[in-house]
Amino acid sequence: MNFPSKLVENAVNQLSSLPGIGKKSALRLVLHMLNQKKENINQFGNSFIDLINNINYCSECFSISDSMKCEICSNEKRDRSTICVVEDIRVMMAVENTLQFKGIYHVLGGLISPMDGIGPSDIKVEELVEKTKNSQVKEIIFALSSTMEGDTTNFYLFRRLKDSDLKISSIAKGISIGDELEYTDELTLGTAISRRLPYENSLSK
């Protein structure tokens, strides 16, 4: 693309460096910005500068937090014997929204992915192993995506933790609530059949 202005070109290149945003969309967004108030766009730019320069991670669960200890880790009502292991804060937020989990979290900050060059040492594995040595911890729940990377990470973590006295579980795999069976993929349907439950136990809460 030949841009009539270096400033526009620079802003377009920055926006299109984000995943899923191409040059054409980026240009559309930049032109949208130019129709906004100067003040708003200054705020827009500054929000990312503030973010990257002041971001802080909870020293216990490694989730993003504005203080040294996040709201969940500093909440005394949370059950400190159960740790839910998640990939990132998006999953943590999703689990929190279910209102089904009262324990604490451990944010790995990624999944093991040899294809992307991400090994166990690039994510917070050692910190999790260290944490489980505390006798207060009774159960570890893996809440990782059901993908190749999620399964690899699940397996690696299980191997690292299996010799402890911990109860280790992984979130259930099966049919999504509301799913129509004729459109469910075979792997999921097969898994759901082999992991069938007595009817009384299978009712969703």
Interface with a copy of itself by CB under 8 A: which residues?
1-8, 10-11, 13-14, 17-21, 24-25, 27-34, 36, 38, 41-56, 58, 63-66, 70-72, 88-90, 92-93, 96-97
Q: How far is the CB of 116 from a copy of itself (least distance, A)?
A: 11
Q: Which is nearer to a copy of itself, 11 or 84 (CB)?
A: 11
Q: How far is the CB of 120 from a copy of itself (least distance, A)?
A: 17
d(CA 2, CA 174): 50
Distances (CA, A) of 148 to 114, 115, 194, 199: 10, 11, 20, 31
Checking 1-9 for CB contacts under 8 A at 24+ apart, the result is 1/27
Q: Which is nearer to a copy of itself, 89 or 192 (CB)?
A: 89
Q: Which is nearer to a copy of itself, 27 or 128 (CB)?
A: 27
Residue 82: name the closest of 154, 171, 205 by CA. Answer: 171
115-143 b/e (C-beta count within 10 Å ≥ 16 → b): eeebeeeebbbebbeebbeeeebeebbbb
Q: Which is nearer to a copy of itself, 27 or 144 (CB)?
A: 27
Q: Which is nearer to a copy of itself, 45 or 190 (CB)?
A: 45
3-state secondary structure of 79: strand
Q: How far is the CB of 88 from a copy of itself (least distance, A)?
A: 6
3-state secondary structure 3-63: CCCHHHHHHHHHHHCCCCCCHHHHHHHHHHHHCCCHHHHHHHHHHHHHHHHHCCECCCCCC
Q: How far is the CB of 153 from a copy of itself (least distance, A)?
A: 17
Q: How far is the CB of 181 from a copy of itself (least distance, A)?
A: 27
Q: How far is the CB of 5 from a copy of itself (least distance, A)?
A: 5
Q: Which is nearer to a copy of itself, 6 or 77 (CB)?
A: 6
Parallel/antiparallel/unpaired status of strands 79-86 and 167-170? unpaired
